[in-house]
A and B are shown apart, each in its own frame.
Chain A
Amino acid sequence: MNLKTLFLSVTLIFLTCANCSAEQIKAQEYRKILASENFYVEYDDNNLKKIIAQDNGRRMARTNLGGTHRAIVSILNPVGNFLANEREKYPEFMFANGKFYKFLEKDFALMIHEDQLDDENLNPGEGWGTIHQSLSLPNELAIFNWHDKFHEVPAALSEPVFIESTKKIVDGKKYDCDRYESKIKTAAGGQSATIIFDLCYTGGELVLAQSALLTNGKEYEINKLIVKKILPSVPSGDFKLSGKEKIHAAGTGDMNDLLENPAYIGRLNEIQ
């Protein structure tokens, strides 16, 4: 083997390895989309269809039946399915102009200002304590925008870092999977566990996002999401709001709260 052949062989090996371990091309595009002012993400989580969207500064989210559950409902209850379709077009949770909204019906929502979230008198039954979580991307997808305003990260959890890209078979299907790892840190500065995120692509598109916990030599599955869509804008007609939705004050232990008769504030377009 002469020197030229040796050099070419070494270069080829390096290039092949680099190709093996590089992040999928689309990952950078997802990062750009999810950090922008407009995006639409749809995924299935344990037969629940979840949608998180950002529309010109308004963050919205909702959960509907998905997967096989939805199919069963469709067959058994066509009227319910029609109503469910109607509901699908409205947000369940929303953040806009410093205010959080929780839609109990399509035209009836409770609202609080952002700085009210730590009010100790907030009605715990209304679940305002988890509103950030409801509007946040799950950890598996937040890899593309870890510091998103709504993504609350425990102090012990480090930002995931890209490890490698490999070909994997999951449930009998072949994927190109990007692996990321996040560390759980101890108070003494050590590491107690690792979270592994596998983002799996087919045809260049992200279709599966799963995570697992590695601790004491054991691996536990945390989550498995079927990714349906990651779009740079909200599809037309989705998350539509007429502006006439009736907005009411969140319960803060006052008489309205006790009588379960929330105080009316105004129409959505009047207070935004």
Chain B
Amino acid sequence: MKKFFLLILALIIFSAHVDAAKIDAYQKILESGRYTIRYDNLTPFPRVTNRDVVELYGKMGLAVQGNEYFLNRPLGGVVVSDGENRYEEVGYKDFFQCRLVKGGENFIFTRYPGKNGGVEYFGDKKGKVSANPRDYLIELLNGESFGDLHFTEMMTAIISDSQKNAAQKSYKFVTSGTLDDGLIYEDFANRDGNTVSAIRYYFDGDELKKISFASYGQEGNRVRARKCIVKILSFTDSPEQNLLRLPAGLIDTTKR
């Protein structure tokens, strides 16, 4: 009986380990530093203040929900890295905030619809951008950014502890299984003080298709909860080189 129990226990541990391996392929890609990820963050960010849904007209009137820019839309994102250079963009519909890190320089600009169905860019001025020095220290202390805050947490959770700094959360494998629709999931969790966070990665076969995140806990005197669902459009180990240089239509005006 004792042997049988130990056998079952060993099988459970072994199967859990095997199931958790699906995320390992993505861990390898992330830690290699060479990838292209496209995603849609389906969960709108919680409003921080009333300001994001209110437009003021002078000092006299206001129109609630006049600012459709922040209404419930998926937040699209792209992250490309070749190990040294990096490109990130996040945005709604066709208005995107972009950041290109190339060598020791950092370019920040926006992309939006232009005339005749084209696109236009705005850095310092329309069609022009100048670089800021790359802040290696902040990159090391905060870890790499993957566009929006929630997706960054989801990606950072995959990276092994030896590859991230002590301030970043360490997620441990909890369980895995198969859903009714055939998707396979792997669950990871972190407990940081009074806050519990959980991330579930969904796979169709070996392909990462979706990620959900939830956290709940006390911060100071407040109880806070966050949730987020992200749809993975593509996650490959080949960096899209055309995104790792300034786009045509955007002139570099950096004084070097």
Instruction: Please state if A213 and B137 are interface contacts (CB–CB under 8 Å).
Output: yes
- Least CB distance from A119 to B in Å reads 9
A184 beta carbon closer than 8 Å to chain B: yes
Instruction: Please state if B162 and A188 are interface contacts (CB–CB under 8 Å).
Output: yes
Instruction: Please state if A187 and B168 are interface contacts (CB–CB under 8 Å).
Output: yes
Instruction: Please state if A253 and B165 are interface contacts (CB–CB under 8 Å).
Output: no
Chain B residues with Cβ under 8 A from A220's Cβ?
Answer: 104, 136-137
B50 beta carbon closer than 8 Å to chain A: yes
Bound: A188/B104 CA distance, A: 28
Of the candidates B56, B59, B166, B222, the one whose C-beta lies within 8 Å of that of A187 is B166
A190 beta carbon closer than 8 Å to chain B: yes
Chain B residues with Cβ under 8 A from A235's Cβ?
Answer: none
Instruction: Please state if A215 and B160 are interface contacts (CB–CB under 8 Å).
Output: no
**Which B157-187 residues have C-beta < 8 A from chain A?**
160-168, 170
A243 beta carbon closer than 8 Å to chain B: no
B54 beta carbon closer than 8 Å to chain A: yes
Q: Classify the secondary structure of B's interface with A.
A: mixed
A36 beta carbon closer than 8 Å to chain B: no
B140 beta carbon closer than 8 Å to chain A: yes
Bitwise interface map of B from 208 to 238 toward A, beta carbon under 8 Å scored 1, else 0: 0000000000011110000000000000000
B62 beta carbon closer than 8 Å to chain A: yes
Instruction: Please state if A123 and B140 are interface contacts (CB–CB under 8 Å).
Output: no
Instruction: Please state if A187 and B54 are interface contacts (CB–CB under 8 Å).
Output: no
**What's the interface size class on A, roughly?**
20 to 34
**Which B39-88 residues have C-beta < 8 A from chain A?**
48-51, 54, 56, 59, 62
A86 beta carbon closer than 8 Å to chain B: no
Given A192-B140, A195-B137: A187 and B164 interface contact (C-beta under 8 Å) = yes
Of the candidates B59, B140, B142, the one whose C-beta lies within 8 Å of that of A193 is B140
Bound: A186/B159 CA distance, A: 12
Given A118-B219, A260-B59: A187 and B161 interface contact (C-beta under 8 Å) = yes
Bitwise interface map of A from 165 to 187 toward B, beta carbon under 8 Å scored 1, else 0: 00000000000000000001111
Instruction: Please state if A186 and B48 are interface contacts (CB–CB under 8 Å).
Output: no
Of the candidates A124, A187, A188, A215, the one whose C-beta lies within 8 Å of that of B49 is A124
**Which A220-259 residues have C-beta < 8 A from chain B?**
220, 222, 251, 253, 257-259
Chain A residues with Cβ under 8 A from B166's Cβ?
Answer: 155-156, 185-187, 189
Chain B residues with Cβ under 8 A from A48's Cβ?
Answer: none
Instruction: Please state if A187 and B170 are interface contacts (CB–CB under 8 Å).
Output: yes
Instruction: Please state if B161 and A258 are interface contacts (CB–CB under 8 Å).
Output: no
Instruction: Please state if A155 and B56 are interface contacts (CB–CB under 8 Å).
Output: no
Instruction: Please state if B137 and A121 are interface contacts (CB–CB under 8 Å).
Output: no
B141 beta carbon closer than 8 Å to chain A: yes
Instruction: Please state if B219 and A184 are interface contacts (CB–CB under 8 Å).
Output: no
Given A120-B48, A258-B50, A259-B59: A213 and B161 interface contact (C-beta under 8 Å) = no
Bound: A120/B48 CA distance, A: 6
A127 beta carbon closer than 8 Å to chain B: no
Nearest neighbor of A190 in chain B, beta-carbon distance: B162
- Least CB distance from A137 to B in Å reads 17
A27 beta carbon closer than 8 Å to chain B: no
Chain A residues with Cβ under 8 A from B164's Cβ?
Answer: 186-187
Bitwise interface map of A from 92 to 120 toward B, beta carbon under 8 Å scored 1, else 0: 00000000000000000000000100101
Of the candidates B49, B56, B170, B220, the one whose C-beta lies within 8 Å of that of A123 is B49
Chain B residues with Cβ under 8 A from A261's Cβ?
Answer: 59
Of the candidates B50, B137, B141, B170, the one whose C-beta lies within 8 Å of that of A253 is B50
Chain A residues with Cβ under 8 A from B167's Cβ?
Answer: 154-156
Nearest neighbor of A158 in chain B, beta-carbon distance: B166
Chain B residues with Cβ under 8 A from A215's Cβ?
Answer: 136, 140
Bound: A161/B49 CA distance, A: 42
Instruction: Please state if B62 and A258 are interface contacts (CB–CB under 8 Å).
Output: yes
Given A186-B165, A188-B160: A213 and B51 interface contact (C-beta under 8 Å) = no
Instruction: Please state if A188 and B48 are interface contacts (CB–CB under 8 Å).
Output: no
A263 beta carbon closer than 8 Å to chain B: no
Instruction: Please state if A157 and B141 are interface contacts (CB–CB under 8 Å).
Output: yes
Chain B residues with Cβ under 8 A from A188's Cβ?
Answer: 160-162
Q: B residues near A, CB below 8 A?
A: 48-51, 54, 56, 59, 62, 104, 136-137, 140-142, 160-168, 170, 219-222
Given contacts A156-B167, A258-B62, 4 further A-B contacts (CB under 8 A): A121-B48, A123-B51, A156-B165, A213-B136
Q: A residues near B, CB below 8 A?
A: 115, 118, 120-125, 154-157, 184-190, 192-193, 195, 213, 215, 220, 222, 251, 253, 257-261
| Contact sample, A vs B, 28 pairs, CB 8 Å cutoff | A123-B49, A124-B48, A154-B142, A154-B165, A154-B167, A156-B140, A156-B165, A156-B167, A184-B141, A185-B165, A186-B161, A187-B168, A187-B170, A188-B161, A192-B140, A213-B136, A213-B140, A215-B136, A220-B136, A220-B137, A253-B49, A253-B50, A253-B51, A258-B50, A258-B56, A259-B56, A259-B59, A261-B59
